[in-house]
């Protein structure tokens, strides 16, 4: 959806919200005098909101990746737009004929509509990508990589978005492991939290029972933030199986080597796995 289409959708909700607020305030009974009074207020709201929304850049975000910061930006933009609308309307007509409860009801309606529209678009895109991935699995299972994600962080969301954008038909996210036990069974997007990182081997066994053989494990948090048991399980899988373990923090270059490790690497080549094992046992 292009920028101007997103902006037009938002302004459509702005134009509709005063009339919906009026219906709610009047118990869904339409009184012509009230309707006539609300029309100028609605027109001012649309003009003011156009300026505020363009400045705030709410229409420039990608709705299929809507998140909490986008919702907060919308709330701030709606608040500023309605306050300016009240100021201009009061200066022009003293808000004559417009009940004081209308802007309050309108604020709740408008925030709910704008945020809800973005969430609906995101859910629709995620479902479409999931269906495309399932179609690929049904037709050419051998070309699909089954991936388990360890860790629930911003890197997890980044990886999920990257897969959805660039490899929806070739990468199948089978689940996520999170250290927060209370998240077991919850969904991140359309992907289920299967357990904790300490339960890695048990989760792999359960997946294998259901015919899912992992090709790759993506670790979305630093190694030193994992528990000892989880770290040993990951290192064991990396060392003793054909499953590839990707350490995202290292792949993205977000963790640098210390002087001692640099000296060791310059004197004798060592694998990242061996360095992690030596670091863990040394601490």
Q: 203 burial class (0-12, 13-18, 19+ CB within 10 angstroms)? A: buried
Q: What are the helix and strand counts (H, E) for the chain? A: 10, 6
pLDDT bucket at 157, cuts 50 / 70 / 90: confident
Q: 246 burial class (0-12, 13-18, 19+ CB within 10 angstroms)? A: middle
pLDDT bucket at 64, cuts 50 / 70 / 90: low
Q: Residue 90 has what DSSP assignment?
A: H
Contact between residue 166 and residue 138 where contact means Cβ atoms under 8 Å apart: no
Domains belonging to the chain, first-starting first, are 3-125 (no CATH), 142-282 (3.40.50)
- Dist. CA 74–CA 53, nearest whole Å: 9
Which segments within the chain are labelled E, that is strand? 145-150, 171-177, 187-188, 191-195, 216-219, 244-247
Dihedral over Cα of 80, 81, 84, 86: its sign: negative
239-278: pLDDT as tens digits: 888 899 999 988 888 764 433 333 443 443 344 444 454 4
The whole-chain average pLDDT of the chain stands at 82
19-45: pLDDT as tens digits: 999 999 988 888 888 888 899 999 999
CB atoms within 10 A of CB 1: 12
Global confidence as pTM: 0.52
Q: 194 burial class (0-12, 13-18, 19+ CB within 10 angstroms)? A: buried
7-26: pLDDT as tens digits: 899 999 999 999 999 999 98
- Dist. CA 126–CA 88, nearest whole Å: 41
Helix axes 272-282, 259-267, angle to 10 degrees: 130
């Amino acid at each position: 959806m292009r920028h101007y289409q997103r902006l037009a959708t938002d302004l459509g909700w702005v134009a509709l919200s005063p009339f919906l607020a009026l219906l709610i305030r009047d118990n869904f009974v339409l009184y012509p005098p009230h309707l006539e009074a609300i029309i100028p207020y609605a027109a001012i709201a649309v003009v003011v909101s156009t300026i505020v929304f363009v400045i705030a850049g709410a229409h420039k975000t990608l709705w299929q990746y809507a998140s909490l910061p986008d919702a907060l930006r919308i709330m701030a933009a709606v608040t500023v737009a309605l306050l300016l609308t009240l100021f201009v309307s009061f200066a022009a007509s003293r808000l004559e004929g417009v009940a004081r409860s209308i802007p309050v009801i309108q604020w709740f309606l408008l925030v709910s509509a704008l945020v809800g529209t973005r969430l609906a678009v995101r859910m629709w895109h995620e479902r479409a990508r999931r269906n495309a991935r399932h179609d690929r699995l049904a037709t050419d299972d051998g070309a699909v990589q089954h991936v388990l994600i360890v860790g629930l962080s911003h890197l997890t969301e980044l990886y999920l978005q990257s897969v959805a954008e660039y490899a929806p038909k070739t990468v199948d996210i089978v689940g996520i492991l999170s250290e927060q036990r209370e998240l077991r069974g919850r969904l991140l997007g359309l992907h289920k939290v299967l357990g904790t990182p300490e339960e890695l081997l048990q989760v792999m066994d359960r997946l294998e029972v259901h015919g899912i053989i992992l090709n790759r494990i993506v670790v979305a948090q630093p190694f030193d933030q994992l528990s000892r048991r989880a770290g040993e399980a990951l290192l064991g899988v990396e060392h003793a199986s054909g499953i590839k373990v990707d350490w995202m923090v290292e792949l993205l270059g977000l963790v640098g080597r210390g002087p001692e490790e640099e000296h060791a690497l310059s004197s004798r080549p060592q694998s990242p796995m061996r360095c992690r094992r030596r670091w863990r046992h040394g601490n």
